[in-house]
Amino acid sequence: MATVFVSCTPDSSGKLPAGAFEVTVNNNPLRLVPVDIGNERLNCIQAAQKVGVFIPHYCWHPALSVVASCRMCLVEVGERKPNGDISIVPRVVPGCQTPVKDGSVIITTTSKVKGAQEQTLEGLLLNHPLDCPVCDKAGECLLQDYTYGFGRATSRMIDQKNTPPNKPHIGDNVTLFTDRCIMCTRCVRFTREISGEAELQVVSRGEHAEIDIFPGEPLDNKLSTNVVDLCPVGALCSKDFLYKHRVWSLKTQNSVCADCSTGCSIHLDGNKSIVYRLRPRYNPKAQGHFMCDEGRLGYHYVNSKERYLRPQVRKDGKLTPVIYAEALTVVRAAIKEAVSSDAFGVVGVISPFLTCEEAYLLAKYLKSMTKAVQLALGPVPVIGSDDTYPKDRRGKPTEPVKFTIRAEKCPNRKGVEKVLQHFQGSVIGFDEVIRQADAGKLRLVYLAASYPPLNRYGQPPHPQSPLGPLSHGTEGRGGAGQTPPSPSLGDGGRGGEGRAWITPEQTEALRKVPTVILQDLLPTPVSEFAQFILPGGAWAEKEGTFVNHAGLAQAIRWAVTPTGECRTDGQVFLDLMERKGLLHAATLRKELAAEVRGFAALAGGDLGEYGIPLG
């Protein structure tokens, strides 16, 4: 076990951290707090973080190699001897590059350290433009934050600034404002160490150094937009979010990406029922620090104008909008009538895009009528094979794997399967439903779909995946005065033609079913003959639980509210069951854990920041 000592200051209430004591070093009175680091191999920044002492830094990132180039983390270090004496190194050193050991002393509060921070910031700001009023990073920029917290109040710069041209061509999803760059090289190291394709480099070494791409090699790998998150200033910006919204007006929720079975933890940013961006959230149990561009940019269907917003009932061959009370009454009656006449001919198809709580509610509702009702897993979209990173310059995967984009393009297959196994003892696939429908054995099919368009990120689907045309917009669904996000014309299909979750052959088989209830986000071929259509809720509008490929249960939370008269899928199931009140995920999670053995680990209701592994 090892103990490190970190200098500290009182908090806003005047209290010091527990265990703090006073010492005098070089005639300077200091307060030190002991930090037990165990057997961990940490640098000064990490050790100080353990007791809430923040050392400012730009170039250092826990997932990247250490270069110590920004010099923002300069601190004084020394050693506490067994007799209590403290010796200090005469010069400040970069905290990111200085490992700690038992007895190490880290000092961040002296005038020498503060002077070094001020000088570093003054040097970084010499050629930095005053773009804060128009910069996308304003409000979450570390240059702003550190200048306010550690820098000088005024600038002594009187000469003309260096203003190199911007580089909007650097990649399909990323633009570079060259004059804002502070040369931390995080982006360069990311493309070499994480994505592995090394598109970025530093050119013109010296005072005119810039980030650039190799000629004819744009930044277009599937992890490229992570450089925007890594950039501590506004140099690298996302073209998808550029000039769309001020960050201080966004409402942020911690959630989970619904694009594939990796289950990346994310920050979900929205405002006034519009999703504006997704950002990766660190989770050591899931994806680590990053996320892929497919998940990051595949959210636009949530804002689509073509989404179903009201229940519809087919009357005289035409779909007619109705209120929920009427829709639920006729749907409930249709299900009861079908169950009473031919229970085995009634099938509830549960999409892997629904939460565990929603799957539980629908399964319990149908099985409570009679055990003869069948439950089936909806189509599981698969595109290609698992895509691992880093890659070499020829695009071949290398070891060790640091990030994986899963071929299974749904977030909760494992969770839905656990529910089906509990209520039915086995999992019926969608192909079996289609076989029975084609044979004329089914009387009613409840399609709880809520599928997104499958090529929302512009990739050809796997040969075994469902195909079918579906056009949808991304103009948004906000009120007057809102300018919702929309992809550029070169967005690879995110705003153009999508793909339905069901094939033409499967659609024709379902036409033979007398009663089809469709609960979905967007029009599909099934919409042409379904007797009842209920609007589905997108993952960004609901709360619940997703279980990823590794069995990690994570909480999703809503950041935007359903538009129009739309209700979340879980609320519709509660209303069908005639249970009072609004859906509350934590309460339902406890109920689910008590009834379904596979979810027993979730009995507490709270899944924490990183989720809970299921047995």
Dihedral, CA of residue 302, residue 306, residue 310 and residue 312, to nearest 10:
-130
pTM, two decimals, is 0.89
How large is the average pLDDT for residues 39-59? 94
List of residues 6+ apart from 372 with CB closer than 8 A:
343, 344, 346
Taking CB atoms within 8 Å and a gap of at least 24, the contacts of 162-170 are 162/127, 162/207, 162/208, 163/127, 163/129, 164/208, 164/210, 167/212, 167/213, 169/218, 170/212, 170/213, 170/218, 170/219
Paired tokens of 197? 């394709």
Task: Give the closest residue to 245 by CA, choosing from 561, 483, 475.
Answer: 483
pLDDT digits (tens, 9 = 90+) for 309-322: 999 999 988 999 99
Q: What is the pLDDT of residue 491?
A: 30
- Residue 488, pLDDT > 80, answer no
Average confidence (pLDDT) over 354-366? 97
What is the per-residue pLDDT for 456? 61
- Sign of the CA dihedral 62, 64, 67, 70? negative
Domains, the chain, with CATH or none: 3-120 (3.10.20), 127-301 (2.20.25.90), 302-613 (3.40.50.740)
**Per-residue pLDDT, 17:** 77
| Distance set, CA 432 to CA 379, 448, 473 (Å) | 11, 16, 33
Tokens, residue 440: 């004329």
Q: Which of 5-19, 383-397, 557-571 has the lowest mean pLDDT?
A: 5-19
Average model confidence (pLDDT) across the chain: 89
Is residue 461's pLDDT more than 70? no
How much of the chain exceeds pLDDT 70, in percent? 93
What pLDDT score does 308 carry? Answer: 94
User: Containing H/E element for 522?
Assistant: none
DSSP codes joined into one string, 412-469? -HHHHHHHHHHHHSS-B-HHHHHHHHHTT--SEEEEE--PPPTTTTS-PPPTTS---E
* Segment 136-146 mean pLDDT: 94
> pLDDT class for 287, splitting at 50, 70, 90?
very high
Residue 362 has pLDDT above 90, yes or no: yes
406-442, pLDDT tens digit by residue?
999 999 999 999 999 999 999 999 999 999 999 999 9
Check pLDDT > 80 for residue 364.
Answer: yes
Rounded to 5°, the CA angle 228-96-65 comes to 55
Q: Would you state the pLDDT for residue 470?
A: 30
* Residue 457 confidence class, pLDDT cut points 50, 70, 90: low
Average pLDDT over residues 3-23: 82
Query: Which candidate, 21, 597, 585, places its Cα nearest to that of 354?
Result: 585
Cβ neighbours of residue 524 under 8 Å, at least 6 residues apart? 449, 451, 468, 470, 500, 501, 502, 518
pLDDT of res. 157: 86
Q: Which of 158-167, 542-551, 569-578 has the lowest mean pLDDT?
A: 158-167
pLDDT bucket at 91, cuts 50 / 70 / 90? very high
The H or E element containing residue 380 is: none
Q: What is the pLDDT of residue 20?
A: 82
Query: For position 486, what pLDDT does the model report?
Result: 34
Please, which pLDDT band fits residue 188 given cuts at 50, 70 and 90? Answer: very high
The helix/strand/coil state of 312 is strand
Side-chain half-sphere CA neighbours of 48 within 13 A: 27
**566, 537 Cβ separation under 8 angstroms:** yes
- Give the per-residue pLDDT at 468: 32
Q: Is the pLDDT of residue 596 over 80?
A: yes
Q: What is the pLDDT of residues 535-568, one digit of tens each?
A: 999 999 999 999 999 999 999 999 999 888 899 9
